[in-house]
Structure 1
Amino acid sequence: MTSTSTFISDQQHKENLELQLSMSPQTLEQLYEYGVSSSQSLKLEYFYYTNEQNKALSLSEPLVSLGYTSEFRQLEDAPGIYLITGWSTPVQATSDKINEWTAYMCSLGFKHDCEFDGWGTNPEQ
């Protein structure tokens, strides 16, 4: 099945990568305020969007092969848009490790024409 339209352009990917890398340290600071320490490793919940089910499926496969959970569904309030979400394996809660992971997730998404929309976590794991 061939793609009908590109979901994320090269320029959008570059801008999104910059945005995600600027937001990760802020999220990490909030986690530190909740008592998370940089020596801890946390599972991270991730979010992607795309415009075709086959793209969501093609992204889910490498995520699952990394040991992550992954599921996707079409959004009810945005027909034709798919949300891909799941949980990573534990990532150390340091700026370096989180930014490395974030950059990887952005690149992996772009490779499958999906946009990485950030991450969250539960500090009580």
Structure 2
Amino acid sequence: MAQIDSHFPKLYTFGENYIIREYINGIELDKFLLSNPLTDSISHGIIELYEAMDSVGYRRLDAAPFHIFLTPSNGIKLIDTARAMKKKVIYPSLIIKGLSDLGYKKDFLNFVKCNKPELYKKWLNKKE
């Protein structure tokens, strides 16, 4: 499903009890933000990831920050999409909660409001 988008690891093979995907070299978003600031570039990447989840057809447009990886080439990747089709989620509460726990919720939502006002309004209307 997500094999055409660079935000998701490539799937190499799978079986009844296993799956082999591309290794993602990087650091989890939450670990990175413990010692580094949330930049506009990272905020933009989180929005791109959210939009990529939507464009590949995922119903759950949310992920825990420890499943979001920042790569050395400044890319952003999402691992563990096992629940991506389970239920429909528009407001990314796990992402927002994770950013809130790290002290970046207000900064991120202000970035979204200024740079993607239509997405900000969509989130306000769908907030759980």
Mark yes or no: TM-score above 0.5: no
TM-score, normalization by structure 1: 0.29
TM-score, normalization by structure 2: 0.28
More strand by share: 1
RCO higher in structure (CA 8 A, sep ≥6): 1
